Amino acid sequence: MMHYLFLLAIAFTASVVSIFIVLRLSRYFGLFDTVNARKVHSGKIPRLGGVGMFVGFVIGLIIFALDNSVDNFLSVRIWNLIISCALIFVMGVWDDLKPWGARWKLFVQIFASVLVLSAGFTFHRISFPALNLVWNMGILRYPVTLCWIIGVTNAVNLIDGIDGLAGSVSAMSALIFALFFSRYGNTGAMFICILLAVSIGGFLVFNLPLPRAKIFMGDGGSQFLGYMLAVLPLMPNSSGGASISLPFAAAVLMIPIFDTFAALWRRKREHRSFFEPDKFHLHHKLMMLGFSARHALLILIVLQFIIGLLVIMADQATDLASVILLFTVYLLGILFFSVIHIRKEEILEKSRLIDN
């Protein structure tokens, strides 16, 4: 236990020190975030905070992989994870410095996903014993998991719009996954989840609005976090099976997933490019309703906590109770997003009437 706590301390320290160095270098070289239609900030703020999260996590993960006490089944597969998340991170940082085209970013995401798929990081089945429903995916687990990884990677990138949001939601999600693995006895996967959360914690020291963010994670950070959150529930145990099923993993990541579906529907309805930024993501809508950025952050943190609590309860419940609790989680998310959307439309309609 003391060994793991020391390793977590190393990861947190590496994250904080790395970001401190990046802050100095960013100011020296003028590497600041750009202001566009998605952003709500003003002023010159560095955007390479993802470096700290990545450095802290990878240092901890490499030491963990070299530990002889780690289950060999997982340790030999950690290197695929390290290489693939490094590819995603480098692509994101490069995009921060010199924007890439969407096609090239998708290519890197697919390549990185194939690396972990080849190591056995996949969903295997969807089952609801209370409903006598079991779907063994078979060969379909590969395209399903590929779509999951790419989708979640980009979904987390989209919610990175206000100080502390993407980092807080990601850290909480990682800790929720850790609770799953703890219950299943997969201590290696549990530690990796906690390691990610601790590395994010080092970044949040500089990113939370206290009183304002000193650095942003940038695409390097948001792409890295999205990729890792997609891969965490796929980590295999000693029997080779994924420990967290797709419906539960998707429920934990409901906020970025639902926000992404809303964005895709909105842009299709308005005949705009899917890659065109706007100010109608969930956090933007909350601010349109009169909440400050801090209050919007607090609301979404509380929502993530409630979601996590219900999902854990659903996982620990048996038979029909588990299905009902999981259904409640999805219903809660649908109702929340629907109410916020309706209120946003009412405000826009009033604004149009005033303009006319």
Rounded Cα distance between 4 and 58, Å, is: 15
The domain locations on the chain are 2-121+129-355
pLDDT band of 69, cuts 50, 70, 90 = low
Q: Other C-beta atoms within 10 Å of 30: how many?
A: 8
Q: Other C-beta atoms within 10 Å of 114: how many?
A: 15
Q: Other C-beta atoms within 10 Å of 274: how many?
A: 11
- Bridge partners of 126, per DSSP, are 135
Rounded Cα distance between 231 and 112, Å, is: 11
**pLDDT above 60 for 114:** yes
Torsion-angle region of 282 (φ positive above 0: left; ψ -120 to 50: alpha; else: beta): alpha
pLDDT average, residue stretch 258-287: 88
| DSSP-based three-state secondary structure for 242 | strand
Single pTM value for the model: 0.93
**pLDDT above 60 for 38:** no
**pLDDT above 80 for 356:** no
- Bridge partners of 133, per DSSP, are 128
**pLDDT above 80 for 121:** yes
Q: Other C-beta atoms within 10 Å of 330: how many?
A: 16
Q: What pLDDT does 135 receive? A: 84
